[in-house]
Chains A and B, each alone.
Chain A
Amino acid sequence: MKISLVEYDAGNLPSVERALARQGLETERVATPETIRAAEALILPGVGHFGQLMRTLGTRGLTTPLREAIDHGTPLLGICLGLQALFAESDEAPGDAGLNIFGSRVVALPPTDKLPHMGWNQLRRVRPSVLLEGIPADAYFYFAHTFAALNADDAAVALCDHAAPFVAALERGNLFAVQFHPEKSGEMGARVLANFVAHARAGSRS
């Protein structure tokens, strides 16, 4: 199975590509509606600004294909800003619409702790998870963000606490997203990516 990485200039594609290549996985970069529609499994990586991401997706005609891919059950993993893009909107860019898979808003974390939330933190599991299967409960993951989703309907599988409790990982059917950076989270992050790929593969065989 080939993993398709959505390209939008600001994303950190090379580090995600390297992390997948270390596991012997083939990747391609996709930046057109056709290639997104044809993808077997998608990763929406994320670094940058919510408004810039949504505008770039819009300009390239990728918003609808992405939404359709999610609706049709194409396995998709959103990373960091790629998680936030699944929501209706964000404090970071008022007025720019997200993919609106989840109806709530991404908010600025309150300045009660140092921001950005930068560094390695642990997760609080709230329900069984595909992505976190086989990962010790006290494992650390690398975060670098100021904005976060405080809830995701019933899809949150793990929360993290910094300034406020927020969604660290969510899953709904074949849709997955993490606020941390698995591609920067050492061995534990590699396992998250492997779990996503294993799930996507199992689905494509059935």
Chain B
Amino acid sequence: MTLARRIIPCLDTDGERVVKGVNFVNLRDAGDPAELAARYNKEGADELVVLDIAASRDHRPTFLETIRRVAAQLAIPLTAGGGVATVDEGRAILRAGADKLTVNTAALKRPELLTELAAEFGSQAVVLAIDAKRVGNRWEAFVRGGHDPTGCDAVAWAKEGASRGAGEILLTSMDRDGTRSGFDLTLTCAVSTAVGVPVIASGGADAPGTFLDVFVDGRADAALAASIFHDSIQGLGELKHFLAGKGVPVRLTS
């Protein structure tokens, strides 16, 4: 009996529609969030993440309606976020039907936000999203949808975030995001071994072997991907059977 490694499809949205870009730019439409949510729920996704990637720049209340529509399709946990800067905004996201919320830019500006959110909703509901990009021989955390460098070391920030109340780290390699060149194993392992909370690896997912690598060598607790699932390049069931065959504990639903 071991905690299963989780496979998490991610819906990056403009608030209303699912979009996908490479290295955070050149966004294209990738479908209706509720339709994709229903499909992934049925195919055996362990959780779903829905993000409003435009929110830091342009607040969109339609996103709450998107969360409601997505949550209505799910019998699995839902994480939502994008531009959350206050406890009230976090509450709105959870009330709309999310089980957990992600914070990114606002937490780097004001780390106390993590503690406030954890005190209000519990650490299990607070996911610190970190967009990390290799700069020299370390990784730097970027904010505002990957636009702005912070000078902040991503591994150190993950540690601080967990100690301030984040119950999970959603770690995106900006270098790998959308490239289908495999997860950044060094980055993932560095963060996963530095913190005592679960780490969700993101960015670079491709063939089933890339997931095996990030669970074994990257020490990830969960792996997140978007386009390979949206475009049906990789089936969830097939991926999980592959991992089970390699001895990775996963939840098989069929």
Contacts and interface: CB of A to CB of B under 8 A. Distances in A.
Contacts of A48: 121-122
B1 A118 contact: no
Interface in B166-181: 167-168
Interface in A143-202: 144-146, 160-162, 181, 183-187, 189-190
Contact of B121 (A47, A117, A119, A186): A47
Chain B CB within 10 A, most for which of A117, A121, A122, A142 = A142
B221 A15 contact: no
A12 B99 contact: yes
B13 interface: no
B123 A121 contact: no
A1 B221 CA distance: 41
Given A119-B198, A120-B251, A184-B77, 5 more contacts: A22-B75, A118-B198, A121-B1, A146-B124, A186-B75
B3 interface: yes
A124 interface: yes
Nearest to A184: B77
A117 B100 CA distance: 14
Interface string B227-242: 0000000000000000
Contacts of B46: 119-120
Contact of A140 (B121, B168, B221, B251): B251
A116 B123 contact: yes
Interface of A: 10, 12, 14-15, 18-19, 22, 47-49, 111, 113-124, 140, 142, 144-146, 160-162, 181, 183-187, 189-190
A73 B213 CA distance: 52
Interface residues of B, number: 30
B92 interface: no
B197 interface: yes
Given A14-B97, A15-B71, A187-B75, A117 B122 contact: no
Interface of A is mostly: mixed
Contacts of A183: 75
The 10 closest A-B CB pairs, nearest first, are A140-B251, A144-B124, A120-B4, A116-B124, A120-B251, A122-B1, A116-B167, A184-B77, A186-B75, A118-B198
Contacts of B119: 49
B99 A162 contact: no
Given A144-B77, A190-B75, A119 B99 contact: no
Given A19-B75, A111-B196, A144-B124, A119 B221 contact: yes
B76 interface: yes
A119 B71 CA distance: 18
Contacts of B77: 142, 144, 181, 184
23 contacts: A14-B71, A14-B97, A15-B71, A47-B124, A49-B122, A113-B3, A114-B198, A114-B221, A116-B123, A116-B124, A118-B197, A119-B4, A120-B46, A120-B251, A121-B2, A122-B2, A140-B4, A140-B251, A146-B123, A146-B167, A160-B1, A183-B75, A190-B75
